[in-house]
């Protein structure tokens, strides 16, 4: 997940400023509509397949209206915007969907003409009405001091401003900054605004909450890089949405494990174990958001923050081909489909937290295995507690699955891969036919190091593997110190 969107509301804008934004968005929408209409015949006759194909179609004639309307500052943005809209349109058409040629705006006279026709469908009228004088979001291609948009911090007040380039030279406006006002571009570089000069941009104060503050700090620290942005309007309120590129973080060292299973009373249960298998924390998570997507967003964020805080590898259950058999014991707090979707979401977001995607282990028996003695028999459950029939260990059923997931690497870790070692005319041969391990080197004191280096390469090559054998091999070694993985048998 290297991209994140950071949205800002503006601080209360004067009527004049609101009017200026409105006009800019109106001009942008008109420009975009004119390019789309200009391309209609060509696209309908021979649609391109890629964004670049559409960009190439936009010749001088198509773009001429943009210069006439003073839309030079938006030219690149309009071209890209139109190309993206048309690529989506052509893609849907190729897949056999009935879609109308895209349009972002409808004008008064066109709606008049529509209703004066002898017949028109309700749908047609509705679609036209929705686009009547609609403002299409204004796209800024790049973060740049001298064009498009950028962010500035007032060094005295600490306020954050968006600098939006909206005008060409002829339409530039006069700016009167306060005396000695010093603004600093994010991430750095200071600039003192000059008074009484015509400028091609507007400077607008942004409303900053904790969420925005956190991401602005990421920009200042160079962890996030602002890319394109969009200015949108809804019910007279404007907002700026900035796409932030996050460098995939350097992976954290993760000595601990976090198991996340389905819960019973709550949606999810989790357990954090340290490297020795001792419990650091156990708990449950729940979200009430009625929308599944926002629920999953919130839950995935909570899981990742837990893993970040305790420096954990995340372990979750494979419930696609295996069952956790939870429904035989209690009513699960989450459906299997939602749990699987959560795994996907966590995997997508993990790089932004400097974490690896969850390790998926078998969900088989996680609610019937005793974490103390590893016995996996039908245990007795009494008042929500699991009681081991072999050793008597008892644990809340709610978090038992999570504990067993968190301990899964350790369980795998106990298994060693046998490797036979034999001497052959001054050479030494390491071999395991089942896993295809076959390595020969000179019989020296460093032979074992050579073998481990070979094994590391071998594991790397296997990691991309798709078949069950390779996957199972990698699973056994996942998260383990390679030197601890083999049992050497001299023959
Ligand atoms: Zn037991």
150 CA → ligand 1 middle, Å: 61
382 CA → ligand 1 middle, Å: 15
Q: d(Cα 33, Cα 258) in Å, to the nearest integer?
A: 51
282 CA → ligand 1 middle, Å: 19
15 CA → ligand 1 middle, Å: 72
- Structural contact between residues 207 and 11, judged by C-beta atoms closer than 8 angstroms: yes
- Structural contact between residues 395 and 386, judged by C-beta atoms closer than 8 angstroms: yes
Q: d(Cα 42, Cα 116) in Å, to the nearest integer?
A: 29
Q: d(Cα 297, Cα 287) in Å, to the nearest integer?
A: 10
394 CA → ligand 1 middle, Å: 8
388 CA → ligand 1 middle, Å: 5
CATH of span 256-411: 3.30.420.140
128 CA → ligand 1 middle, Å: 69
pLDDT confidence of residue 444: 79
- Structural contact between residues 179 and 185, judged by C-beta atoms closer than 8 angstroms: no
State the residue for tokens 């023959």: 491
Look at the chain and count its residues.
491
401 CA → ligand 1 middle, Å: 14
369 CA → ligand 1 middle, Å: 8
390 CA → ligand 1 middle, Å: 5
pLDDT confidence of residue 126: 85
302 CA → ligand 1 middle, Å: 31
Enclosing H/E stretch for 398:
helix 397-406
45 CA → ligand 1 middle, Å: 72
284 CA → ligand 1 middle, Å: 23
308 CA → ligand 1 middle, Å: 31
Grouping H, G, I as helix, E, B as strand and the rest as coil, residue 13 is coil
CATH of span 415-490: 3.30.160.620
pLDDT confidence of residue 455: 86
320 CA → ligand 1 middle, Å: 28
Show pLDDT as tens, one digit a residue, over the chain (491 residues). 467 889 999 988 899 999 999 999 999 999 999 999 999 999 999 999 889 999 999 999 999 989 888 899 999 999 999 999 999 999 888 888 888 899 999 888 888 888 888 888 888 888 888 888 788 999 999 999 889 999 999 888 889 999 999 998 888 887 666 666 788 888 877 666 666 678 889 989 999 998 899 899 989 888 889 999 999 998 888 999 999 988 665 566 778 999 999 999 999 999 999 988 889 999 999 988 888 888 999 999 999 999 999 999 999 998 887 889 899 889 999 999 999 999 999 998 888 888 888 988 888 889 999 998 888 876 678 888 999 888 888 999 999 999 999 998 777 666 778 888 888 888 889 988 878 888 998 887 778 888 988 888 888 777 766 677 777 777 777 666 677 778 787 77
375 CA → ligand 1 middle, Å: 5
The residue ranges of every structural domain in the chain are 15-138, 139-225, 256-411, 415-490
Q: d(Cα 86, Cα 195) in Å, to the nearest integer?
A: 43
CA dihedral 396, 397, 402, 406 (to 10 degrees): 70
pLDDT confidence of residue 249: 58
Using CA atoms, how far residue 257 sits from 33, 270, 376, 402, in Å, is 54, 10, 21, 10
Q: Tokens at residue 310, please?
A: 């305790």
Establish whether domains 256-411 and 415-490 are of one fold: no
325 CA → ligand 1 middle, Å: 19
**How far apart are the two ends of the chain, measured CA to CA in Å?**
49
373 CA → ligand 1 middle, Å: 4
């Amino acid at each position: 997940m290297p991209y994140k969107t950071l949205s800002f509301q503006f601080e209360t804008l004067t009527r004049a400023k609101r009017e200026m934004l409105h006009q800019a968005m109106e001009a942008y929408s008109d420009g975009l509509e004119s390019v789309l209409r200009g391309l209609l015949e060509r696209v309908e006759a021979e649609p391109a397949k890629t964004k670049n194909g559409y960009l190439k179609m936009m010749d001088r004639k198509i773009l001429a209206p943009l210069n006439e309307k003073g839309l030079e500052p938006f030219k690149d943005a309009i071209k890209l915007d139109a190309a993206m809209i048309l690529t989506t349109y052509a893609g849907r058409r190729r897949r056999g969907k009935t879609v109308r040629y895209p349009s972002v705006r409808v004008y008064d006279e066109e709606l008049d003409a529509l209703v004066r026709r002898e017949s028109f469908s309700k749908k047609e009228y509705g679609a036209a009405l929705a686009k009547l004088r609609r403002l299409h979001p204004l796209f800024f291609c790049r973060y740049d001091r001298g064009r498009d948009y950028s962010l500035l911090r007032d060094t005295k007040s600490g306020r954050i401003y968006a600098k939006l380039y909206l005008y060409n030279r002829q339409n530039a406006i006069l700016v009167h900054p306060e005396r000695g006002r010093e603004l600093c571009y994010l991430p750095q570089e200071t600039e003192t605004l000059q008074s009484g000069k015509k400028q091609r941009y507007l400077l607008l104060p942004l409303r900053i909450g904790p969420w925005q503050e956190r991401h602005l700090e990421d920009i200042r620290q160079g962890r996030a890089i602002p890319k394109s942005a969009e200015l949108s309007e809804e019910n007279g309120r404007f907002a700026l949405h900035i796409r932030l590129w996050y460098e995939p973080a350097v992976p954290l060292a993760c000595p601990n494990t976090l198991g996340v299973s389905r819960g019973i009373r709550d949606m999810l249960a989790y357990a954090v174990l340290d490297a020795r298998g001792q419990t650091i924390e156990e708990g449950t998570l729940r979200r009430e958001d009625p929308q599944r997507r926002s629920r999953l967003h919130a839950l995935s964020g909570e899981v990742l923050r837990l893993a970040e805080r305790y420096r954990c590898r995340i372990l979750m259950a494979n419930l696609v081909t295996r069952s956790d058999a939870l429904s035989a014991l209690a009513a699960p707090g989450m459906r299997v489909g939602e749990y699987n979707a959560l795994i996907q979401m966590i995997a997508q977001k993990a790089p932004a937290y400097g974490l690896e995607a969850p390790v998926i282990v078998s969900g088989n028996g996680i609610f019937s295995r005793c974490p103390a003695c590893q016995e996996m028999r039908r245990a007795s459950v009494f008042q929500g507690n699991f009681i081991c029939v072999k050793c008597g260990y008892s644990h809340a059923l709610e978090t038992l699955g999570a504990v067993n997931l968190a301990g899964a690497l350790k369980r795998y870790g106990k298994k060693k891969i046998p490797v036979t070692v034999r001497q052959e005319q001054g050479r030494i041969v390491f071999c395991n036919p089942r896993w295809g391990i076959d390595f020969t080197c000179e019989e020296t004191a460093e032979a074992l190091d050579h073998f481990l280096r070979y094994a590391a390469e071998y594991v790397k090559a296997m990691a991309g593997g798709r078949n069950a054998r390779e996957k199972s091999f990698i699973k056994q070694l996942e998260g383990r110190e390679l030197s601890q993985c083999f049992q050497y048998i001299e023959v």
